Amino acid sequence: MTAVRAMRPEDLQAVLAIQLACYGAGFVEDGALIVRRLAAAPRTGWVIEHAGRVAAYLAAYPSRVGKLTALHGDFEVLPEAQADALYLHDLAVDPAASGHGLGPALVRHALAFADAAGWRRSALVSVQASLGFWERHGYAAHTLADAAQQARLASYPAPAHYMVRT
């Protein structure tokens, strides 16, 4: 396995192909949106190459617990000094590279980054029956009190769960 590295604009086509393979057309977020997100949070987007190509990615950004990004929404990146959490928006592994530990490696990398930044929490929205995966990584369901954030959560096809790791 190749080490985790920063996501770059030239990774866009691979990221889009992985999205389509993992999620199907309804979840795929367009390339222009991904480029904007990478520009907004360049230090918190990562990929892993496997067998000579990008095979997994994780897009994240500095945020606060209780605040999330709607499906197909732009990241609302907080200045790192104001953040209290790393929000993991999208983790995907090409099905052809499944079973090589790429997803867990990206999660470990992200959590180490968050710890080094002083953020002791991480948050995400679990979709497509991934609840058990995230629970194994220490995340637990978290209730959103804010109606606007509940509406953002509702933008994801059910079942979608907001989760936090401390």
Tokens of 63: 């945020």
Model confidence, pTM: 0.95
Contact in structure between 91 and 58 (CB atoms under 8 Å): yes
Q: How many domains does the chain have?
A: 1
Query: How confident is the model over 17-37, as pLDDT tens digits?
Result: 999 999 877 778 899 999 999
Tokens of 128: 């497509």
Q: How far is the first Cα of the chain from the last one, in angstroms, to the nearest whole number? A: 28
d(CA 28, CA 163): 21
Domain limits at 99?
4-165
Q: By C-alpha distance, which of 118, 153, 124 is closest to 139?
A: 124
CATH number of the domain encompassing residue 24: 3.40.630.30
pLDDT at 16 over 70: yes
d(CA 43, CA 125): 20
Whole-number pLDDT of residue 1: 52
Amino acid at 29: E
